[in-house]
Structures are given as C-alpha cells and as structure tokens.
Amino acid sequence: MVEDILNEAKPAAEKLENFEGKIRLIGQYDADGICSTAIAHEILERLGKEFEYEILKQLYEEDVRRLAEEEEELLLFVDIGSGQSKHIQKLIIEETDKEVIVSDHHEPQIEGDFIHLNPHFLGHDGGEAISAAGMTYLLAEAVSEENYDLVTYALIGATGDVQKQEGEFLGLNKELLERAEEHGLIDKRQGLDLYGKSTKPLHKALMYTSDPYLEGISNNESGSIQFLKSTGVDIRENGSFKTLSDLTEEEEKKIIHGLITQGFDAGKLVNPVYMLDNGHGIDEYSTIINACGRLGEPKTGVKILLENDLKAAKKISRKYGRKISSALRYVEDNKDNTDVIYEDGIGVIDGKDKIEDDFIGTVTTISMSNGFFGDVPVIVGVAETEKDKIKASCRATKTAVDEGLNLGEIIESICEEIDGEGGGHNVAAGAKFPQTNKEEFIEQLSSEVAR
C-alpha cells in the first residue's frame, strides 16, 4: 500500500519543510531520474526553498567527495544514492555536518544514518512495484496533498524503468495510476500500440512494425499506404500526414479491424495505452525524456516536464532519431569489417569509440529485431565508456529464452570473473568491465550461450 510509504516519507517531508538553508538536489539521468528530479524540483519550488540541482549519469566516489565539499547543508538524492549509500555514509555523514535525504528504489547497500526512503526497506520490490519517481512523488504528497498533479511524472518514470508488464502498471504503481485517473490526468484505454504513435506519420509507424511481421506492410511503404486506404482511414489531414495520435477512436478501430480481416495477429498490437493530457502516449513521452539524458541534456527533460514544452520535446525526439540512424549506419557500413561486426555463435557489434555507450543498447535492440545477424540466439553490442571501461548490451531471442537461456544470470556470473558489474533479465542484460577484458567477455558469453 502506498500509505506505508507515505508514512515512511513523513520525516523527509518535515525535514524539507523546516530546513532553512540552501539545498542541493542530485538526480540520475534516465527517464525515471529526470522525472524524480522534476518532482523534487517542484516540491522545493513550491515550498519556496533556495536550491540548485544537477543530474549525474552515475554517482562515483569522487562525486560524493565533491558533494561533501559543496556549500549546501542539505543534499537530496533522487533515483541515485541507495547503491552508493556506503560512500554517502562514510564521506558525508561521518565526515561533515551535512544532512542527507535519499529517495531511491535501487537495491540499497546500507540504510545509513540519514533519511533513506527505499521500497526495499518496506518489503516492496523496487524493480517492478515502484520507481524512484513514484517514491519521490509520495514524498511530494507527504509534503502536501496539493502536489497530486505531479503523479503523472511518477508514471512516466516507472514506464522509463520498464516497470509496466504487458502494458499494465503493477503493485504500488497501480495505486499511483488510480490517483492519476481519479484526477483526470491520464486516460487509459485499449488501443493500437505502434512505435512512433505521435511522432511518426501513421503509415511509417505501421511499416516499421516488425513484431508481428505484417506481410506486405512491414518494411513496405506503399504496401502500408495501400492497406490504410483499404480501411477507409484518411492518412492526411490539411495536407500533412496524420500520426496515430491524430486518429479518432473510430478510425483506430477500423485499422485494427482491417488487420484482423487480413489475418494478422493484431492482438499483439492492441495494448492498454495511457494518454497524458498533453496528447502524448506515456511510452513515447518517457522515451523522449530518456532521450534528453542520452543526448547529454537531462535538464531539458526537466524543462519539458515542468513547462509542458512540447516544442522542445519534438526537437529532442528528432535529434535522438538522427543519432540512432547514424549509429545504425555505422553498423551497416561495417558489416563486412570483421573487426567490428562478426559472428561467433553470437552476433557481435563492436561500437569502438564510434557508437556512444548511451546508444549501444538501442542499436543492439534494433539489430535483434530487424534480424541483422539472421537467427543467432544472442546479440551483444559493446562500446567504450568513461574510465577505460566497456559497456556491453546483450539481447536474446524469445526462442532462446523459451529454451531456458537466462542472459541476466550468465552476464552476472561472467562479470564476477572479469572484474565487472552486470546483470539484467532473461531477454536483456548489460555489463560494464575494464577494456582489457573485452575479448574474454565475448568469448565467455559465446561459450555460455553455446552451452
């Protein structure tokens, strides 16, 4: 029940209300972190507090050392901090007079002698029941019930952290959804769920659909247009192309009906969709917020949320699309260069320093879904990242998973041997390890998959 967390959030709420000095807010750079930061930003703003904020990709020991030296006497960490709570305890709590509040959902190292809000301490699963944005929203509600309007950020954050299962919010997130629905801030219905719902022309969004593969439509622009015409849905309006979001519910039904009539498994494309009151679907919006971090502009994400800046959202979305396309072009251009792209039981994409670490995951996902390597069970993408490390993103086919493959477990055990950190789920996992261990990582992965 969210009430448990609301109760637990009271000391943090009181601390924020009564604190009379400058506050430093520190957030994490993914969609959940940016949403958490936006919520915390509003809590502080509405309380009339003086504060600065920053958004980090990771909280390294050196960041904690630096923060220990900053002038602010109260540090508020969101979506970051639980996994580094030993450093916080040692370098800030034990060494300075500063006070700390952490609102996070990652596995905590220690509870520490500071205000540490984390669902794990209350027996909730931080992986799927609630995200940091949800935790921080409940902190906002503990400060004032009038902060209810921030609840959509909690759901955008949870979506970014892939906490929806088959389109449904579970656990505490479900209770947050109910709050949003009660206040008319979100609208849930069954609908056509295509990627690019509000950013791509409808016929393009449909043609990019590969799961399920729509014979004659997938990867076939004129086929896609033909099909839409046959359903009687007009793909243009005032001379420009419509997106899926521009359609009426009636038109959407016609398309679903058309797909079924042609014998396609449309069920896979019909999911609960959550429309925000700014007209964006929640999945797309969280992708855009996430993209802000990936593009090195996390504060733009905060601005988009707080100012409902749809123009900036559109700009980010385009910029992100261009980055992904150029990364995919690198893969395509090097497909005969065995130093970059090769197969060894698994498909390997070595992004070197040409694909940024923030884009290697998406490139790997797309290369899996478009069958770039044919039918290899696993694809791994590697890219150089800061501190002479390698970031690896691994994806497995559904078939391999059905046969018992669990990527998360494999990656975790390899990492233990090669001085890395990693893990994940059965279909997708990631790792970070020293550059010198790259070959060993790939070899071990390939032999584990073969096994």
CB of 76 to Mn ion, least distance (A): 16
Residues 379, 405 contacting (CB under 8 angstroms): no
CB of 135 to Mn ion, least distance (A): 9
Q: Nearer to Mn ion by C-beta: 72 or 104? A: 104
CB of 158 to Mn ion, least distance (A): 9
CB of 105 to Mn ion, least distance (A): 6
The reply on whether position 128 binds Mn ion by CB under 5 A is: no
Long-range contacts made by residues 445-451, C-beta under 8 angstroms, separation at least 24?
445/346, 445/378, 445/380, 445/394, 445/410, 445/411, 445/414, 446/344, 446/345, 446/346, 447/345, 448/410, 448/414, 449/345, 449/346, 449/377, 449/378, 449/400, 449/405, 449/410, 450/345
Q: H/E element holding 390?
A: strand 389-396
* 10-39 footprint of Mn ion as x/- string (CB under 5 A): ----------------------x-------
Q: CB nearest Mn ion: which residue?
A: 32
> Which residues is 190 bridged to in the sheet?
272
Task: Tell me the window of 59-67, 161-169, 180-188, 396-404 that interacts with Mn ion (CB under 5 A).
Answer: 161-169
Q: How far apart are CA 240 and CA 177, in angstroms?
A: 34
Task: Tell me the window of 132-140, 200-208, 278-286, 308-316 that interacts with Mn ion (CB under 5 A).
Answer: 132-140
Q: How far apart are CA 192 and CA 215, in angstroms?
A: 18
Residues 191, 166 contacting (CB under 8 angstroms): no
Exactly one of 72, 141, 161, 350 binds Mn ion (CB under 5 A); that residue is 161
Task: Tell me the window of 160-168, 272-280, 299-307, 442-450 that interacts with Mn ion (CB under 5 A).
Answer: 160-168
> Which residues is 272 bridged to in the sheet?
190
Kindly state the DSSP code that residue 426 receives in the 8-state scheme.
S
Q: Which of residues 69-108 bind Mn ion (CB under 5 A)?
A: 79
Q: How far apart are CA 253 and CA 11, in angstroms?
A: 49
Task: Tell me the window of 66-74, 125-133, 238-246, 433-441 that interacts with Mn ion (CB under 5 A).
Answer: 125-133
The reply on whether position 132 binds Mn ion by CB under 5 A is: yes
The reply on whether position 192 binds Mn ion by CB under 5 A is: no
The candidate with the shortest Cα–Cα distance to 23, out of 3, 45, 2, 38, is: 45
CB of 36 to Mn ion, least distance (A): 7
- Please count the residues of this chain forming the interface with Mn ion, following the rule CB under 5 A: 5
Binding site for Mn ion (CB under 5 A): 32, 79, 131-132, 161
